[in-house]
């Protein structure tokens, strides 16, 4: 095998979910098997999208934190998988659940994940708490973006199903890309943030006595196989 062919093999697109489990950890992957396990016959997807990132990319992630890889769905059981569906499915007293419905209306009602794989660091990006948005974006670099609120809600629910704790279970909330006005009759705008607490998944503006929220991150989807080779 030549050096060039060895490089090509090492960076070849992942075609096996098992390889992702070996790299990231069994409980850090939520794929078709997990969807079937927790949602039963509601999960009917047969054409499973391929994992976008290469083996080399998953093994050398720029943000040096544990990462959670999950298959995002835009619908399940014939229903759009938006915040209303998530809330309906997890409105009971047992975790995963929501900490009331405060803030749910501030996520665009029709928004869903896209039908693709998502790769997110577990918890906020380290060192991003109490920073303004621009310095937070600098921490993310070019290969990450800030996820939407519904993407982070889905990540927290699915991560809990695998790990019995929320993706954002630290003391700081995780800021998302979405923003909302929180004061009635005013133009005051704050970021929508997500945090798992002992009461469930809380959606709010993230501000508390601890300061401003940290930032959530999601690996960008535009980095192709060719990009990773260069």
Across residues 188-214, what is the average pLDDT? 78
pLDDT tens per residue, range 110-133: 899 999 999 999 999 999 998 888
pLDDT of residue 181: 53
The whole-angstrom separation of Cα 212 and Cα 174 is 10
**Which is higher by pLDDT, 211 or 86?**
86
The reported pLDDT for the residue numbered 1 is 40
Return the pLDDT at 124.
Answer: 96
The torsion of the CA quartet 114, 117, 121, 125, rounded to 10 degrees, works out to -40
- Asked if the model's pLDDT at residue 228 lies above 70, the reply is no
Mapped onto helix, strand or coil, the DSSP state of residue 80 is strand
Distances (CA, A) of 87 to 148, 157, 195: 17, 10, 15
Residue 70, pLDDT > 70, answer: yes
% of the chain with per-residue pLDDT over 90: 61
Would you state the pLDDT for residue 222?
66
Quote the pLDDT of residue 211. Answer: 64
Q: In the chain, at which residue ranges do the beta strands (DSSP E only) sit?
A: 29-30, 67-72, 75-76, 79-80, 116-121, 144-145, 174-181, 189-197, 200-204, 214-215, 218-219
Rounded percentage of the chain residues whose pLDDT exceeds 70? 81
The more confidently predicted of residues 43 and 185 is: 43
| Alpha-carbon span 52 to 39, nearest angstrom | 24
Report residue 193 as tokens. 């943030």
CB burial of residue 42 (10 Å; 0-12, 13-18, 19+): middle
Q: What is the mean pLDDT of the chain?
A: 84
pLDDT at 189 over 90: no
Q: What is the pTM of this model?
A: 0.87
Do you find a cis peptide bond into 96, omega within 30 degrees of 0?
yes
């Amino acid at each position: 095998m030549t050096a060039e062919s060895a490089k090509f093999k090492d960076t070849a697109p992942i075609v096996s979910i098992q390889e992702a489990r070996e790299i990231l950890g069994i409980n850090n992957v939520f794929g078709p098997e997990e969807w079937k396990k927790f949602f039963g016959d509601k999960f009917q997807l047969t054409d499973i999208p391929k994992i976008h990132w290469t083996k080399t990319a998953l093994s050398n992630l720029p943000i040096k934190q544990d990462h959670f890889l999950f298959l995002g769905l835009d619908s399940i059981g014939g229903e759009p998988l938006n915040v209303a569906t998530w809330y309906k499915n997890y409105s009971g007293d047992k975790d995963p659940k929501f900490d009331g419905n405060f803030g749910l209306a501030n996520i665009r009602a029709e928004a869903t994940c896209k039908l693709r794989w998502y790769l997110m660091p577990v918890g906020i990006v380290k060192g991003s708490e109490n920073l303004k948005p621009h310095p937070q974006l600098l921490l993310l670099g070019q290969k990450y973006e800030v996820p939407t609120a519904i993407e982070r809600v889905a990540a927290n629910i699915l991560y809990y199903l695998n790990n019995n704790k929320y993706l954002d279970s630290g003391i700081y909330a995780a800021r998302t890309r979405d923003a909302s006005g929180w004061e009635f009759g005013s133009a005051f705008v704050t970021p929508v943030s997500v945090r798992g607490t002992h009461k469930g998944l809380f959606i709010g503006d993230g501000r508390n006595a601890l300061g401003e929220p940290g930032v959530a991150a999601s690996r960008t989807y535009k980095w192709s196989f060719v990009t990773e080779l260069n």
